């Protein structure tokens, strides 16, 4: 199983160090985190968590195993078709899933629909 945590927030995080550590720990798990920022807040700290500009590190310096966070500021899509928002929100998930399987040398199920 692979999980996606969706966080919708109207403000920035106040516990950046604990959040970074939690994300670094979660980077070992079969999960992705999508954060959608709504409203007019300054979301620079959330962009930092995205990890697109380099490897996210915990407050102790431990690097994330893989990038699992996608941050999307909703205000960029207020006047766009809903499909544009959906595309951006889900843009990194396929690669994050592949990276998880590759990191742990896991093979996808032969027939995922059959149970």
Gap between the Cα atoms of 67 and 99, Å rounded: 9
pLDDT at residue 4 is higher than 60: yes
Pair type for strands 31-37 and 69-73: parallel
- Once rounded to an integer, what is the mean pLDDT over residues 105-115? 75
pLDDT at residue 115 is higher than 60: no
The reply to whether the predicted model has a pTM over 0.85 is yes
- Residue 84's pLDDT band (boundaries 50, 70, 90)? very high
Q: What string of H, E and C letters represents the secondary structure of 67-106? A: CCEEEEEHHHHCCCCHHHHHHHHHCCHHHHHHHHHHHCCC
- Residue 112's pLDDT band (boundaries 50, 70, 90)? low
> How far is CA 4 from each of CA 26, 41, 61, 62, rounded to the nearest angstrom?
11, 24, 25, 23
pLDDT of residue 50: 85
Gap between the Cα atoms of 5 and 57, Å rounded: 20
93-107 pLDDT, tens digit per residue, is: 999 999 999 999 998
13-68 pLDDT, tens digit per residue, is: 889 899 999 999 999 999 999 999 999 888 888 888 887 778 999 999 999 999 99
The percent of the chain in helix, strand and coil, each rounded to the nearest 5, is: 35, 20, 45
> How far is CA 112 from each of CA 2, 96, 101, 107, rounded to the nearest angstrom?
12, 18, 15, 11
């Amino acid at each position: 199983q692979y999980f996606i945590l969706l966080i919708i927030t109207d403000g920035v995080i106040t516990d950046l160090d604990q959040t970074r550590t939690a994300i670094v720990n979660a980077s070992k798990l079969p999960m992705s985190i999508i954060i959608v920022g709504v409203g007019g807040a300054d979301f620079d700290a959330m962009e930092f968590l995205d990890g697109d500009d380099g490897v996210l590190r915990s407050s102790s310096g431990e690097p994330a195993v893989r990038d699992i966070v996608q941050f999307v500021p909703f205000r960029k899509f207020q006047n766009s078709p809903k499909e544009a928002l959906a595309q951006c929100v889900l843009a990194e998930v396929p690669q994050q899933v592949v990276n998880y399987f590759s990191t742990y040398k896991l093979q996808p199920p032969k027939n995922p629909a059959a149970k």
